[in-house]
Amino acid sequence: MTCKEIVELMTDYLDGFLSPSRRAKFEQHISGCDGCRAYLTQLKTARMLIGRTAAEPVPEPLKAELMNAFRYWKAAS
Ligand SMILES: [Zn+2]
């Protein structure tokens, strides 16, 4: 999976919507990719901060902001 695919799957991952095989691939990528791991941590924190339950999707503006942060990390690494 590419980083872009991973990012797109992150909310589903956090919500437990991934199939076992996709989840395994996702976790494999995360364990070897600092950028995606940082993004996942950020996403978890952001969701906690905005007080959303796991069932609710991340609002689009926040998602866009996180994508920008993610691009920055990738550029910096
Ligand atoms: Zn990645």
Task: Show the tokens assigned to 61.
Answer: 């503006």
Residue 70 has pLDDT above 90, yes or no: no
Length of the chain: 77
Are the C-beta atoms of 16 and 76 separated by less than 8 Å?
Answer: no
Round to whole Å and give the CA distance between 72 and 52: 25
> Which chain residues have CB less than 5 Å from ligand 1, an ion?
3, 33, 36
Average pLDDT of the chain, as a whole number = 84
Calculate how far, in angstroms, residue 76's C-alpha sits from the geometric centre of ligand 1: 14
Confidence of residue 76 (pLDDT cuts 50, 70, 90): low
How much is the pTM?
A: 0.63
Round to whole Å and give the CA distance between 13 and 4: 14
Calculate how far, in angstroms, residue 36's C-alpha sits from the geometric centre of ligand 1: 4
CA 52 to chain CA centroid, Å, is 15
Percent of all residues in the chain with a pLDDT value above 90, rounded to a whole number: 48
Residue 73 has pLDDT above 60, yes or no: yes
Calculate how far, in angstroms, residue 48's C-alpha sits from the geometric centre of ligand 1: 22
Residue carrying the six token digits 């791991």: 37
